[in-house]
Amino acid sequence: MRHFDHLSPDQEHQLFLHPPQPVDVDDDPALLAVALGATLYLPADRPALSSDVLRQRAAGVLSVVLCLEDAVADHAVEAAQRNLVHHLRALAASGADGPLVFVRVRRPEQVGELVASLGADAGVLTGFVLPKFTAATGEPFLRAVEDAAVAAGHQLRVMPVVESPEVAHLETRVASLEGIRALLARHRESVLAVRIGATDLSSAFGLRRRRELTVYDVRVVADVIADVVNVLGRPGDDGHVVTGPVWEYFTRPERVFKPQLRETPFRVHDERPLRTELLAEGLDGLIREVVLDQANGLTGKTVIHPSHVAVVHALSVVAHEEHADALDVLGAGGGGVAASSYGNKMNEAKPHRAWAERLSRRARVFGVARPTTSFVDLLGAVTAR
């Protein structure tokens, strides 16, 4: 798989100094987790599920989660599970180059049931998303996935979702996160990334953010995200890739605040209609939240609408200036400090090294933009298709 492989060779050459590199399901998990990008959630009861998945792959989606949990009504779970098996078999039979496919299950037993039902077609599965994950509930899910991997004959990755009240509430948060960290350490080879369930975390306080606000404006939820990154997302062998929480809006409401996109970049790059379209769809809030996700140590994002994918991926491309800084830092093996090659900041080799290594992984899977390429150019090229 390769990000932006739906662009023409001419577009790719024009936009990228270093184009995205292919990523394989057997690559280093830290690299594969970054390559998830915008992970699109689809309810498992959709009538045309397999064709929906393949259509979204053609539009640039590299990872999907087919959901049997909150996206499906309680009374419809059994029918949704049968529908899911049918369409997973159709995906396998198609032989098409699909995205990474994960299933979000409700209970541990569903993992084995799905793999047994798929039989020889279980190879279509990349892994499972584990909901309401805590140290108490997580062990049965993890064991079920590892047993299913033996039955399927290939490794199945897990992405636990941190979203329980024990994590949301201050008095139990630290102990809960420490328990999750210890549990994940015992199953390290299975864990691909940690996901954050911002909707459930907000629910613990009876809250829901407006479109004009990012999750970081909802302070009680922002505090939880900070602690999740602090405990589970540290650099090094003990940390995990932590993905950005869901953006749950996809239609235009009446605005309370001014738009959050400056007009100048769109005017300079002759993309005023693109700015108008983004504002009409209310995607300026998503753009701001993705930037804040990255600033707070999160990678990629959960999305629920195809229009969100291009925004997340365009913002994931590494800017030429950032890449130059990372190369300077990684090239200074003996430490020290120096002005950046752009002459506008200080690069310290030792304190900035973990950042540079992380940025290099993103550069490999999403590419490095040319010095003249902006986010506006990238988004314009993707949305013009």
Extract the tokens encoding 267.
Answer: 């005017």
The reply to whether 10 sits in an annotated binding site is no
Q: Which amino acid is at 222?
A: A
> DSSP states of 30-78 as a string?
HHHHHHT-EEEEEETT-TTHHHHHHHHHHTT--EEEEESSTTS-GGGHH
Q: What is the DSSP letter of 154?
A: S
Q: Which amino acid is at 62?
A: L
Residue 211 has phi, psi (to 5 degrees) of -60, -35
Neighbours of 24 (CB within 10 A): 10
Q: Which amino acid is at 205?
A: F
Q: What is the DSSP letter of 306?
A: T
Asked if residues 111 and 148 have their Cβ atoms less than 8 Å apart, the reply is yes
Q: What is the DSSP letter of 119?
A: G
Sequence-ordered alpha helix ranges (H) in the chain: 9-15, 29-35, 49-58, 77-94, 109-118, 135-152, 165-168, 170-186, 198-203, 219-232, 264-268, 272-280, 284-295, 307-316, 320-331, 353-366, 375-383
81 SS3 class: helix
Extract the tokens encoding 31.
Answer: 């690299």
Binding-site residues, in ranges, read: 200
Binding residues for Mg(2+): 200
